[in-house]
Structure 1
Amino acid sequence: MNLLVSTDWLAAEMGKSDLRIIDATIFLPAHARSARAEFEGAHIPGAVFFDIEEVSDTSSNLPTMLPPAEKFASRCQALGLGDGSRIVVYDNSPLKSSARLWWMLSLFGAHEVAILDGGLAKWQAESRPLESGKPIVRHRHFTVWADKALVRDQSQMSENLRTKAEQVVDARSSGRFTGAEPDPRPGVRPGHMPGSKNLPYSEAFNADGTWKSPAELKALFDGLGIDLAKPLVATCGSGITAPVLAFAAALLGNTKVAVYDGSWSEWGASAHNPVVVGA
C-alpha cells in the first residue's frame, strides 16, 4: 500500500477484511464546527472517527500532546484497529489533520498507514457513497509500542540550537513565523526558533485539496535549502500541521522526520527560549 492512495484505489479496496478507514478531522474553536457531529452526519462507508483531541495527554496544559502508548493502543482497539490492519486515514479539515494521525499511528507501531488524497471533499465531489450514524466495530488487539525517535521535546529542541544536528522546518503561516501576526494563544510570543525555515503546510496542496506532485514538493524543500537526506524536525503551532511536512518528506523518501510535539504553543510561551522576529 502506498503512503498516498487515491479515491479510486479506496473504492476498489473497500470491504476487504484487513482494511480500516479512519476519519481524523479536527477543528479549531474558531471554526465553530463539530468534527464528531459532521462524521455522524456523513462519512465514508466503514469509517470510524478518531478523536485527536480526546486521544491525547489530557494531563498536559498544552493542546493535543501525544498520549501514553497504553491509552493510544486502548483507543485503537476500541475502534477496531488491530495489528496487521491496513489503515487509510482521511479528513475534512482545513488543518489537513489526517497527517497528524498518520504520524501518531506510525509512532505507535502501525506498519501500513496511508492518507486518502483529497480527503472527504474529493470523495464527495465524485459523488461516491456515504453513510451516517455511529459505526459498530469489533475490538481488535493493538500492541502497545512507541517509537520516540519520531518525536522531539523542548529540551531536545534547545539542545539542537547548540548542535545544529537537525534541520528545523516550521509549518505555520509566514505571518506567524515572522511575527507580523500575533499568536492566537494568550501569553505566547510571536516569531520563530533561531535557524528554523518556514514552509507553510498549505503550500503542500493543490487548490482542490490534493497533494502536490513529488517534484513540486521537492522544489518547496529545495527552495529553503533543506536537504531531505539529512535529519529534519517539523514544528508548527500545536503539533497538528507539522506532520503535513513530515508526510511530504516521507513521500520523497525520508520516513524518519521527527515532530516537535509541543511546537510553538510550548516554545513561544517560555520566556527562557530564544525567539526571532522577522524573516
Structure 2
Amino acid sequence: MRKISKLMVCVLIITSLAFFTGCSSDTSVDNNSDVAIDEVNKEEVPVIQAITTEELQEKLEDNDWIVVDTRINDAYIGWELEGAVRGGHIKGAVDFSANWLRMEVEDRDNLLQDVLKTKGITSDKNVVLYDANGEDVSIVAEYLVQQGIENIYRYDVKEWAMDEELPMESYPNHHLVVPASWISELIENGNNGKPYKIFEVSWGDVSEDYLNGHIPGAVHINTDDVEEGPIWNRLSDSELEEFAKNYGITVDATVVLYGSDSTPAFRVATILKYMGVEDVRVLNGGFVAWENGGYETETEEREKQPVEAFGATVPVNKNYIVDLPQAKEILADQESSKLVDIRSWEEYIGTTSGYSYIEGKGRPAGAVWGHDLNNYRNIDNTMKNAAEIKSMWNEWGISSDQRLSFFCGTGWRAAEVLVYAEVMGLENISLFDGGWNEWQDDASNPIELGESN
C-alpha cells in the first residue's frame, strides 16, 4: 500500500463536527496555533485550517493572501462540475490543479516550481486552497507543505457558487474545450437526439494508439484528408466539402475531436470552423484526460458513415483562416494588427527552421513572438490560465483588442492557440494557414533573423 503522509492522515479524517481527530485546531483564521502535535511520533504537523465565506471575502484584496483553485482545469475555465452550481473560479483566484501532481512528466518537479513562482504561491503568503470534491485541496496542501508553505487554509467553493452576488469568472467560450465527463454524457444521452460525431485525429492511417483503445464510437481522421504538401495548407473548399461528406460531418452536427497529441485535433477543429460547422469541441487535455477520468474505451475500429450533403457552401467563416495576401496586410498595419509567431524561440530568431523539409530560417519581417505552444499548456496539457497568456502577449505588444493572426510552421501549433484565443473571448482572430513554410518558399518575401529590436 502506498505510504500516506502525516498531513494526509490529518486531512482525511475530517468530519462534519470537527476538522481533525488527533490534530487540534480552531477553525478561525485568527488562530495563532498553526501546528499540531502528532501524539505517536511527537512531531509537529502543519494544520490546514478552515476559512469561512465571509473571511475569504475580506482577504481577496489582501496582498498577503492568495486564493488557489485546486480543481481540474475545466472547472476553472467555466464548466459546472462536482456539484458547483456555477462554473468558473473565484474572481482573482489562480490555478494549481491537483491533477498536475498526478501527472508523470519529464522534469515535473522543476516545472511545478516554476508554476509556483509564476502564480505567486510562496511561503510568505497565506494560501487559501479550494475544491468541490473534498480531495483536491488535500493533495495540493501536502505538496505545498513539502515546499515549505505552511499558512494554508481550505474552502469548499460550492458555498461560494451558491451565492449569485459573489463574483466568479469564466472564459466566454469555455465550451469550445470540453471535459471528459461532458463527452461521456454526450455519448450516454445521444446528444439528445441531435447529430454528433467523435473523432480521434492524428497523421496517417489508423494509429496504434487508436487500436489500443479509443473513446467509444470514435472514428479516426487522417490529417492528410484536410491538408496537402508541400506547403501543407488546407485543401480547396470543394475538397474540404467532400471530406466532410465522406466523414458524415454536417454543418449542424456537434463534432468532438481529440488525440493522444491534441495538436492535430485543434488543426482539424480550425478547418471545420472555417468551413462552417456550428458546434466544434476539443477534449481539453487530450486522450489522457479521458483515461484519467476512468471512462471506458474500445478497440473496435469504427468506419466512416458518409452523408450526401454538408449543408452549407464552404467556407461559411472565411476570415477564420487567412492566406499569404492577408498576412501581408496584417504586417503592414502594425498599430492595430499583429502576425503572431507560435514557434520556438530558436525558430523565431532563425537558428533552426524547426522542420526537416523546410530550408529557410527566420521569420516574416515584422512578425512578433507569441511564445512556443508549450507555454500555452499546463503540465496536464490543458489550457493555460488566460491571465498568464495575456501577460506573455503584453511582453511583445500583443493585445486582445488588436487584429491577431497566429502562425507556426504549417498551421498545427498555431491552430491550438487560435482556439484558446477564442475561448478567452477574442473575436478579430485568425490562423495564417501557410505560416513560415509558405512565407519562406518565396524568396521575395522579406525575413528577419536574430532578436527583435
TM-score (norm 2): 0.55
Counterpart in 1 of 2:242? 74
- Pair 134,278 (structure 1): closer, same or farther in 2 beyond 3 Å: same
Counterpart in 1 of 2:197? 20
Distance 1:114 1:243 in 2: 13
Distance 1:246 1:103 in 2: 8
Distance 1:26 1:257 in 2: 26
Deviations 1:172-199 (A, max 9, x none): 1111111123442456221112222222
Counterpart in 1 of 2:160? none
Distance 1:256 1:160 in 2: 12
Counterpart in 1 of 2:300? 133
Distance 2:428 2:332 in 1: 22
Identity percentage over the alignment?
23
Counterpart in 1 of 2:344? 173
1:239-254 equivalence runs, <5 A: 239-254=411-426
1:13-92 equivalence runs, <5 A: 13-15=186-188, 16=190, 17=193, 18-26=195-203, 36-56=207-227, 58=228, 61-63=230-232, 65-92=233-260
Alpha carbons 1:41, 1:133 under 8 Å: kept? no
Q: Give the AA of the match of 1:26.
A: W
1:1-279 equivalence runs, <5 A: 2-15=175-188, 16=190, 17=193, 18-26=195-203, 36-56=207-227, 58=228, 61-63=230-232, 65-93=233-261, 96-140=263-307, 141-143=309-311, 144-146=313-315, 147-164=317-334, 166-186=337-357, 188-198=359-369, 199-279=371-451
RMSD: 2.2
Q: Give the AA of the match of 2:420.
A: A
- Pair 186,115 (structure 1): closer, same or farther in 2 beyond 3 Å: closer
Deviations 1:224-243 (A, max 9, x none): 32111221111100111111
Distance 1:234 1:53 in 2: 21
Alpha carbons 1:92, 1:119 under 8 Å: kept? yes
Task: Name the structure, 1 or 2, with higher relative contact order (CA <8 Å, separation 6+).
Answer: 1
Alpha carbons 2:327, 2:405 under 8 Å: kept? no
Alpha carbons 2:266, 2:419 under 8 Å: kept? yes
Distance 2:231 2:326 in 1: 17
Deviation of 1:278 (Å): 1.1
SS in 1 for 2:417: helix
Deviation of 1:79 (Å): 1.9
Larger Rg: 2
Distance 1:19 1:187 in 2: 38
- Pair 213,160 (structure 1): closer, same or farther in 2 beyond 3 Å: closer
Distance 2:285 2:251 in 1: 26
Alpha carbons 1:246, 1:255 under 8 Å: kept? no
Counterpart in 2 of 1:30? none
- Runs of 5+ in structure 1 lacking a partner? 28-33
Q: Give the AA of the match of 2:305.
A: R
Deviations 1:145-197 (A, max 9, x none): 21321222223323433333521111111111111234424562211122222
Alpha carbons 1:214, 1:252 under 8 Å: kept? yes
Deviations 1:87-109 (A, max 9, x none): 1111212x622211111111001
Q: Give the AA of the match of 2:237.
A: A
Alpha carbons 1:236, 1:263 under 8 Å: kept? yes
Q: How many corresponding residue pairs?
A: 269
- Runs of 5+ in structure 2 lacking a partner? 1-173
SS in 1 for 2:175: coil
Deviation of 1:256 (Å): 4.0
Alpha carbons 2:331, 2:339 under 8 Å: kept? no
SS in 2 for 1:232: strand
Alpha carbons 2:331, 2:338 under 8 Å: kept? no
Distance 1:213 1:107 in 2: 26
Q: Give the AA of the match of 2:396.
A: L
Alpha carbons 2:209, 2:260 under 8 Å: kept? no
Deviates more, 1:4-13 or 1:120-129: 120-129
Spell out structure 1 runs of 4+ moving beyond 4 A: none
Deviation of 1:24 (Å): 1.8
Distance 1:174 1:135 in 2: 40
Distance 1:163 1:216 in 2: 26
Deviation of 1:130 (Å): 1.1
